[in-house]
Amino acid sequence: MHSIFSKLFFSFWLATILSGVVFFLLAFNLRLAPLHEEHRRRWDAERAGFMSEVLTIYGTASVASYEKNGKLPPPPTIPPKATGAPGPAHHLQAFFFKADGSALSSEVPPQIRDAVQRQLGAPGAATAPGRGALVLPITGPSGARYLVASESGTGPGPGNAPPPHFPRPFPPEFWLQMLITFVVSGAVCYGLSWRLTAPVRRLRSATQELANGNLATRVAVKSKGRGDEIVDLGNDFNQMASRLEKLVNAHRQLLRDVSHELRSPLARMNVALEIARQKSPESAEPPLQRIQQEGERLDQLIGELLALSRLDGDAGTERSEVDLAELAAEVVQDADFEACASNRHVEYLPTEGIMVLGNRELLRRALENVVRNAVRYTAVGSSVQVALQRTPGQQALVRVKDFGPGVPEEQLSDIFRPFYRVAEARDRQSGGTGIGLAITERTVALHGGSVAARNLPEAGLEVEIRLPLVSRN
């Protein structure tokens, strides 16, 4: 739910669904409004008929009791089950009048008096069904005429209860329409969200490629049909990538040119050094020897710079299947022979053949740089441990472990940068140029692998090299 695609998709879909639900509900209510009004009219007519029937029965009995006993009986109580109306039982509120309009009942409401006065001498109901008062003529046993009146909204059942709720069950087609709305709106919103976020995904992929070192990466930008901010962002990215590529290529070219130009004066300096050694007394040998050492170190640095520039350009590297176990054994044997002179050793745990695809010489140099670096910094009397194994992810894993001082945590990723030194004086003393691990990192990346370093809990540094295995499919 944190991606732009999911946010756009669910926002659009929810808005579409809510709009569809509101639309269908409004349309459904508008379609049912006439039916509901007709239902209310029928209900009012039934209520008036019910009240007329109740008043006629009760009025006839009450008038007979009045002529016989001289008083009106109390209003009856009608239980809800007699009418089907919900709630408690109701008292029928009826008011009696003589034919001349004089009231026989006490506490007659004004609207009842007005209705009786308007209807004196007129047969039938005083008002339309459902509104005002209902006035009916009653003839007593003696033949005398009376009027009985009641508010049309009082009394039990339909007389006082509101019309029952008009049933509004959603028809099957309503649910079918809603299902179609969900499916269609989901498909449309998905396609719209996918189209809107597609340029962002392409830009993100290009950014990752650029971060991985592919400076030729560019974003495909449509020149027609779309001119929004995302297109502008793609153009800006392409300009940035082009500028970076030019700067890095210029830097690499400068590095190669300087390295080549230094080779000639260095060769002349070595020739001059030999001539000076022949013509100088023995007392001049120590400074001449120091000059020779510095020249050799400079020659080594130039060679590593040229190797690094070739790796950056990936200049036609030939690849074949390489037995990494055999290669590691050779590197360990040579490194152990050199380490014995400083009371250090290199140990290797033999393993079965692990085949990788790559350039054997480049891989040898990459592994050799890591092992020699470990020999430089491991404690005197200790052994550098080299192990090789096959990982479940179809990778070859080389571990090189030393027992030296390690590297500060914040500088672990920096040791693979060219000319980076953890401690200037220490690296100078150890004879390092600061390029060996950079060559290893470039070589491993060129072969589709990765290299990382970590400090060990007890002491020392461990460097892990991962390379893809040869696919046998």
The catalytic residues are: 260
- The count of other CB atoms within 10 Å of the CB of residue 473 is 2
Distance, CA of 41 to CA of 33 (rounded, Å):
13
Q: Where are the alpha helices (DSSP H) in 212-284?
A: 229-279
Burial 297-307 (b: 16+ CB within 10 A, else e): eebebbebbeb
Distance, CA of 409 to CA of 305 (rounded, Å):
27
Burial 24-43 (b: 16+ CB within 10 A, else e): eeeeeeeeeeeeeeebeeeb
Q: Which residue has the tokens 């290199």?
A: 346
Contact call for residues 409 and 422 (beta carbons, < 8 A): no
Q: 345-348 and 383-391 as β-strands: parallel, antiparallel, unpaired?
A: parallel
What one-character DSSP code corresponds to residue 76? Answer: P
The CA distances from residue 44 to 37, 80, 129, 137, in Å, are 11, 18, 6, 21
Contact call for residues 245 and 216 (beta carbons, < 8 A): yes
